[in-house]
Chain A
Amino acid sequence: DAGITQSPRHKVTETGTPVTLRCHQTENHRYMYWYRQDPGHGLRLIHYSYGVKDTDKGEVSDGYSVSRSKTEDFLLTLESATSSQTSVYFCAISPEGLEKLFFGSGTQLSVL
């Protein structure tokens, strides 16, 4: 199994608070991704990174920011959490060429 760790696994927070989710990999893969999974929408890309300090927006990036200061860590921040951001968040990694995405186990986030 690919070495991907997401933390925390579960989080409950209140509307308006900032939240940071962490994805850590031990594979030294170049590409890292954050997706959210919601019923009826499948997985939607929030942000992705193609190298240290190189990131780009996905289709649902509003309200989210990311940072990648080291190859192994990709942080997702909800600047001011809203109830619409209640979701399951998945991190994924990939070597060059999109041969395969490896997924973490997910973070269940509830914004009350």
Chain B
Amino acid sequence: GDSVTQMEGPVTLSEEAFLTINCTYTATGYPSLFWYVQYPGEGLQLLLKATKADDKGSNKGFEATYRKETTSFHLEKGSVQVSDSAVYFCALGGSGGYQKVTFGTGTKLQVIP
């Protein structure tokens, strides 16, 4: 079945550091890929998405590229801020024609001043 594997957290970075959160997936067919973010006490929000191979999703300084050859969708940001502290979830959807989304386990990011 479909699955998403994320790097384990928590990840602690200093403000303005470079961020990478690794994500790899296993899926049938050609799924869409997503990054969602969860701030404390809230539900998840879509951060960015990519719908086909080599697409780059971007939002709020975050980027991720859909790499079919390595089945990866790593999240990057050049300079993190304290306000980026949250839990980040990699996810895939639409695999095999089913309209459901499978999430990874989440990676907690803490940015310190």
Contact = CB atoms under 8 A, between A and B. Distances in A.
B17 interface: no
Interface stretch (A14-22, A38-46, A64-72, A77-85): A38-46
Contacts of A94: 99
Interface of B is mostly: strand
B104 A31 contact: no
Contact of A98 (B45, B89, B93): B93
B81 interface: no
Interface of B: 1, 6, 32, 36, 42-46, 49, 89, 93-94, 99-106
Interface of A: 31, 33, 35, 40-45, 48, 50, 56, 58-59, 90, 92, 94, 97-101, 103-106
Given A42-B89, A42-B106, A43-B89, A98 B43 contact: no
A106 B32 CA distance: 25
A59 B101 CA distance: 11
